[in-house]
Amino acid sequence: MTTETKAPVAAQQPEQTHDEKVEALKAKLRVQHMKTLQNFLGDEKSALKFLSAMVYSVNNNPKLLSCSIDSVMDAFMKCAELNLYPSSVSGDCFVIPYAGEAKFQLGYQGIVKLLARSSIIVTACNLIHANDPWDYEEGLTPKLYHKPDIFSDRGDPIGVYVIMNVQGISIPHAMPKAMIMKFKDLAPGGKTKDSPWNSSKDPELWMWKKTCLKQASKKLPKNELLSKAVSWDNEATPIKEADTPKTITRPDMSMLDMAASVPDKPEEKQPETAE
């Protein structure tokens, strides 16, 4: 009679703690992409600051650790390529979990910063309320008038506008609430309670302002980094070209010719860091 020998059962590995998962992600990014981070951000010191910003971002949104590791790495590397820090403090950009994947999301301040690198300055981006005196005119000489009484009842928000200065020329662009809501409806999680579109999460309606600025920027001379950022942002909020509103201020060709001659500024070596 032979005795059957059973193979020893392998000891089950204990599940990693949150801190261990974060450190593993940080180590993987450092080992596999440190040289690329330095190329994107300018030097080793900035790259290390970016890694700290990544840890800050993951600690503030632990659901990212449930996303595929490749999507998390890809989203953070997109932030680095744009020389933007993922942080709710800076508002440049964010890495958000969605359906098991980490997605890059461009912030309002990120658009402002990318435009400023091309000497395009956002001088105003404000909400229009129902009781505000205002007027908006398109054409060869676009005009925008807005005189809110901030100490009175201004009523509900009915629209938003942005004014961009391109080499001394002010270019306004306005969008009504109905048009903004079309973009909200296109957002995969636009109606969820945790969505940045939710007014309880965004009482100052920065998503309205971001949407207006993002659409206005499409009519400016092409900026490679901004085009990439908007394209990546649309991956998190898919928008078909046919769905993009066409009622946007169209400055005359002399404005565009002048804007096209503005040279790009070199990328900043020391972007603000997450705290």
Q: First-to-last CA distance in the chain?
A: 70
pLDDT at residue 264 is higher than 50: no
- Contact, 230 vs 106, CB < 8 A? yes
207-258 pLDDT, tens digit each: 999 999 999 998 888 888 899 999 999 887 644 333 333 333 333 333 333 3
Q: Over the chain, what is the mean pLDDT?
A: 81
> Do 95 and 142 lie in a common domain?
no
CA 187 – CA 197 distance, rounded (Å): 9
pLDDT at residue 266 is higher than 80: no
> Do 158 and 211 lie in a common domain?
yes
Q: What is the pLDDT of residue 247?
A: 36
> Do 155 and 197 lie in a common domain?
yes
Q: Which of 84, 106, 128 is the last residue of a domain?
A: 106
pLDDT at residue 3 is higher than 60: no
Q: What is the pLDDT of residue 88?
A: 82
Identity of residue 172: P
> Do 115 and 240 lie in a common domain?
yes
Q: How many domains does the chain have?
A: 2
Range of the domain at 200: 109-260
> Do 90 and 113 lie in a common domain?
no
Report yes or no on 268 lying in a domain: no
Nearest CA among 183, 175, 160 for reference residue 240: 183
Report yes or no on 24 lying in a domain: yes
> Do 84 and 124 lie in a common domain?
no
> Do 98 and 113 lie in a common domain?
no
Report yes or no on 275 lying in a domain: no
> What's the pLDDT band for 176 if we cut at 50, 70, 90?
very high
Report yes or no on 271 lying in a domain: no
The residue among 13 and 152 whose pLDDT is bigger is 152
Q: What is the pTM of this model?
A: 0.75
Report yes or no on 274 lying in a domain: no
Judged by phi (left if over 0) then psi (alpha if -120 to 50, else beta), residue 136 lies in beta
According to DSSP, the residues that pair with 145 across neighbouring strands are 135
CA 250 – CA 140 distance, rounded (Å): 8
Q: Which of 90, 106, 122 is the last residue of a domain?
A: 106
Report yes or no on 45 lying in a domain: yes
